[in-house]
Amino acid sequence: MPTTGESCEINGVLPPVITQVASMEVSEAIRFLSRQGFSGKLISADSYKIDYRTMDAGPLKSDSCKVCGQGIYELLNKNNFTAVQSNCGNVYTLRFNEDIFHDNFPGDVIRQNRFVKFISYKEYEMTLFKDGRMNVYGLGDVDDANILYKEIINQVNIRV
């Protein structure tokens, strides 16, 4: 765990891990498509230490569990969209319509390319992505994040 307490939401992941996990997923898909079924293994991988552990997940399954025992996936059918999302590391993600990327955004654009803009606004540093997501660094709490969200909507005059 980084000493700052930030997670992969903020810092991303070690690129080789993505390939390793994708390989395991493809192996599971091949097992399934060849009618062998899933392996039923829970895999813990530490790519940095080159340490892999597996355990049989079967005993963890409970018939009384709505998800693993009864196959009821309520959360997958729920709309979890929130305009303001708290992340770890005192960072908040604000979600706007993707048009905001091309609008006259308040603050100073420090640098940009066609996918992302790094913006300084008041005492905040922001990363605005082309899809309308914006990570804001330096907010105190969710109330501050909601106030900033409304302020930006009013200044840019956008639809959400």
pLDDT tens digits, 54-82: 999 888 888 888 888 888 888 777 776 78
Integer Cα distance of 89 and 124 in angstroms: 14
Q: What is the pLDDT of residue 2?
A: 46
Return the beta strands (E) in 8-95 as ranges.
Answer: 41-46, 51-56, 84-86, 91-95
Of 4-8, 33-37, 130-134, 142-146, the one with minimum mean pLDDT is 4-8
- Beta partners for residue 108, in sequence order: 120
Between 5 and 44, the more confident residue is 44
Q: Do the beta carbons of residue 77 and residue 66 sit within 8 Å?
A: no
pLDDT at 5 over 70: no
Helix (H, G, I), strand (E, B) or coil at 113: coil
